[in-house]
Amino acid sequence: MQHAWTGALIAVAVFLGAALLNPLCLVLAPVAVVPMVVYPYAKRFTDFPQAFLGLAQSMGPVRAWLAVTGGWSWKAIVLGLAVGIWIGGFDLIYA
């Protein structure tokens, strides 16, 4: 149990360190963390946890775009949606 908490705290520290690249990323960090925390528990209260996985994974490309460019773009949104649908759909087929 202690190893899991240690790993989780290291992951949060790395995540917040990366979020410091851009003030907007730091402000939006809680929005990105919620789906990642909810996904492992989604199987307990929904029949479609793949939607939570797709949502959590779709935020990655958008966050990377924000960190590098510092602004929003529809290209980032389309890329994020493509990644979320791809991973969520793959997990649905796998399940």
Residues 51-77: tens digit of each pLDDT? 888 988 998 899 889 888 888 889 999
- The token pair at 22 is 């851009």
Long-range contacts of 57-61 (CB under 8 A, 24+ apart): 57/83, 57/84, 57/87, 57/88, 58/83, 58/84, 58/85, 58/87, 59/31, 59/32, 59/35
Q: Look at residue 84 and tell me whether its pLDDT is greater than 90.
A: yes
pLDDT given for residue 83 in this prediction: 95
Q: Look at residue 95 and tell me whether its pLDDT is greater than 80.
A: no
Helices (DSSP H) in 1-95: which residue ranges?
Answer: 2-19, 23-45, 49-69, 74-94
Stated pTM of the model: 0.75
CA distance 70 to 26: 12
Q: Look at residue 40 and tell me whether its pLDDT is greater than 90.
A: no
pLDDT given for residue 28 in this prediction: 85
